[in-house]
Amino acid sequence: MENIPDVPSPNGFFDERKAQSAPDAINKPNSGNQRPPTSPASPLSSPVQTRATIDVLRTPPKTNPRPSIEFDRRYDGPFGRPSVAMARRPSLPPLRGLVNDAETDAIQLAYVGREVGPFQPLPPSLNYTLRTRKMAIFLFWTIIVFDSVAMPVALYFGLWYGVGPGNPNNEKLSANTVFSIVTAAIGGASIVEYFVRFWRLYRKESTCVVLGAHRWYLDSFHWNFSFAWIVVMIELIIGSVPDDPLIRLLSMPLTTMLFVFGTLLLIIDTFRYFRVPAPVRISSVPRGAQLRPGIYSLIEDICAVDGSGGTEFREALERRYEASHVFRAMLRRLGEFWAFGAEGCAVLCTILIFGLNSVDAAYVIGWSVPFVWAGIWTLCTFWYVNRELKKEAGLWAAEANKARV
């Protein structure tokens, strides 16, 4: 095995397990570049060496990965919901002709013995809870609401009607100056959070990197957030540059965020419904693999990076998703709930912003209604998730009792 490059797995196991199943690799015809059979002193002669060989073979292929048969057949909605007790064969990345059949069999046996065990009495734990993070969540959202709701509204009315065009008797600031100040002041907390999460993902000792990806990939949420911020910045610049600012356009940033994320969720869920493979990597879902609900990557990225769950949470979320059909169905419905809700709220806000006669009312609606909607949707989500997790626990316990009989 001296010609095999010593490239260790970056995250303890290779996420591109969906690239090609080991049984498929075993059944493939021998290629011309396969090595001859090894001697009795094979590196696979001991469990430790076998494990080392498996880790070495988890090197991402240079070509586009092919989803495994098992992963393609297990469609997770709206039909074909397998039992929570369904056992799936684990997948390995392509062996690419580096070992002979005997070594391949040994690797597959070692991998199966490590991954497949008896049916567990409880679903795989996420090892994550919001109960211990209540204060951090409260402080974070308090700062965000103050920065993105209270500050722009207060600055607008204070400056416009205090020393701006709204008070002709004491007009010291032009309309352009008023909105230049407002635009410069808003979004500070979000920008700080943007660069903090960038550093958490990009640093060499990062503990929250995406499974099977390099640290420079960052994660799906970061790229989407970057795109949304670019669109918002364009709106703010176009709206605040004229001498007579476009106040209605300057009321659109939060609505634009809803449009961006709602549309992305709908696109991903539409592709998944029609069984279109992932066109690009979406966090821990590699290119070419079966797509998961769009909300899956949001939960994974936000909890792993912003919520300090780390790469361990990404691994735990994947195990739970693959093990439980109730969990998969729950995420699918939540994705649709948030996607259509975001689009509906964005459309309503746009109609009100450009349709109301009062510019002041339009400005207040644009900077407040999206947060009101998000609060209502969050409360509904908590209620629904708690209900579904209880349902999952009951079904899982029933399957476990069947397995014991």
> Where along the chain do its domains lie?
16-115, 131-404
Of residues 69, 129, 184, the one with CA closest to residue 307: 129
Phi-psi region of 239 (alpha: psi -120 to 50; beta: other; left: phi over 0): alpha
Q: How far apart are CA 21 and CA 374, in angstroms?
A: 41
pLDDT tens column, 280-301: 999 999 999 999 999 999 999 9
Place of tokens 């795109």: 227
| pLDDT band (50, 70, 90) for residue 1 | very low
Q: Which tokens hold the place of 220?
A: 């799906």
Check pLDDT > 90 for residue 199.
Answer: yes
Say what the pLDDT of residue 80 is. Answer: 33
Give the confidence band of 92 by pLDDT, cuts at 50, 70, 90. Answer: very low
Percent of the chain whose predicted confidence (pLDDT) is above 70: 70
| pLDDT tops 60 at residue 58 | no
Residues 376-404: what's their mean pLDDT? 91
Per-residue pLDDT band at 405 (split at 50, 70, 90): low
- The per-residue pLDDT for 230 is 95
Confidence check: pLDDT of 45 > 50: no
Q: Which of 173, 70, 126 is nearest to 296 (CA)?
A: 126
The pLDDT of residue 89 is above 90: no
Which range in 120-134, 184-198, 357-371 is most confidently predicted, on average pLDDT? 357-371
What is the model's pLDDT at position 161?
93
At 64 the three-state DSSP class reads coil
Instruction: Report yes or no: 160 and 178 within 8 Å, Cβ to Cβ.
Output: yes
The pLDDT of residue 398 is 87
- pLDDT recorded at residue 296: 97
Burial class (CB in 10 A: 0-12, 13-18, 19+), 261: buried
How sure is the predictor about 186, in pLDDT bands with cuts at 50, 70 and 90? confident
Q: Is 264 exposed, middle or buried (0-12, 13-18, 19+ CB in 10 A)?
A: buried
* C-alpha–C-alpha distance, residues 244 and 234, integer Å: 17
CB 174 within 8 Å of CB 167: no
Mean pLDDT, rounded, for 253-274:
96
List pLDDT tens digits, range 126-145: 989 998 899 999 999 999 99
Model-wide pTM > 0.85: no
Q: Is the pLDDT of residue 35 over 80?
A: no
